[in-house]
Amino acid sequence: MTMLKPPHPIRILLALGALAAIVVASSGCGTTTADVQRGRVLFVQKCGVCHTLAEAGTTAQIGPNLDDAFAAARAVGESDSTIEGIVIPQVENPRPSTSNPNNSMPADIVSGQDLDDVAAYVGMYAGVPGAAPPRVPGGPGAQVFANNGCGGCHTLAAAQSGGVTGPNLDEFLAPDDNAAAIEEMIVEPNAEIVKGFPASVMPQNYGETLSKKEVEDLVQYLIENTPAGGGKSAGNKSG
């Protein structure tokens, strides 16, 4: 099999992992209980800050582009479960293990069922030609909400989401929350810790991973679909 030389050290590791793909696949590493949709949410939150993956809508370049890394495997017909089996040990024991984030990632950034879900998600979509985030109704802000897995943590009726890791946005956002206040909640979530939720429960880097336009679209979407800014029926904040 002809392999292109990748520009990033971790890509070399992924390529080497592909050489063991048949062994990994035959060992039964693939999971039958994984939740792929949950895996997408976890990938966006935990992995998308470093990796590009078209279906997840992530474009970070700290780690390898996973579509590029697995494109050759897809081209020769490797299965989802084979790629899933490669992802699991790479996450459990990333190499090389150094303090340089450009050369390594933290071990067990996800583990247990979370790892099964993420690996199944990556196995299903990494390197798939034409893969893109699922389109959702509601305009560009709704798409930003969906692309970044916000519904996995927040309840929002307009998005038909029921996440409970973070506040229920239909109840938490209130008429006195203007665009500036909501933007701060997104890009500096620890500026005000919501009662009943721990600090840093929300990713801290949306100010870096989202473009200015994406933040503006998301803020406008929340204003239009919650009590924020008086955009919907008034509600009271509740922690």
Q: Which residue has the higher pLDDT, 215 or 51?
A: 215
pLDDT of residue 134: 87
Mean pLDDT check: name the lowest of 18-22, 42-46, 154-158, 175-179.
18-22
More confident residue, 121 or 6: 121
Decide if 3 contacts 73 (C-beta within 8 A).
no
| pLDDT confidence bin for 31, thresholds 50/70/90 | very low
Other C-beta atoms closer than 10 Å to the C-beta of 176 total 12
The pLDDT > 90 percentage for the chain reads 54
Cβ contacts of residue 33 below 8 Å, gap of 6+?
113, 116
Span 140-230 CATH architecture = Orthogonal Bundle (1.10)
Average pLDDT, the chain: 82
Range in 129-133, 225-229, 234-238 the model is least confident about: 234-238
Q: Does the pLDDT of residue 67 top 70, yes or no?
A: yes
- Res. 100 pLDDT band, cuts 50 70 90: low
CA proximity to 41, closest of 149, 117, 135: 149
Average pLDDT over residues 130-148: 92
Residue 136 CA to residue 59 CA, distance in Å, equals 19
Domain segments of the chain as ranges = 9-125, 140-230
Q: Which CATH number fits domain 9-125: 1.20.120, 1.10.10, 1.10.760, 1.10.1760?
A: 1.10.760
Please say if the pLDDT value at position 81 is more than 90: yes
Residues 118, 43 contacting (CB under 8 angstroms): yes
pLDDT band, residue 50 (cuts 50/70/90): confident
Instruction: Specify the range with the lowest mean pLDDT, choosing from 32-36, 71-75, 121-125.
Output: 32-36
How many residues in the chain?
Answer: 239
CATH topology agreement for domains 9-125 and 140-230 = yes
pLDDT value, residue 96: 63
Give the burial class of 89: count Cβ atoms within 10 A of its Cβ; 0-12 exposed, 13-18 middle, 19 or more buried: middle
In this structure, of 51-65, 92-106, 112-126, the range with the lowest mean pLDDT score is 92-106
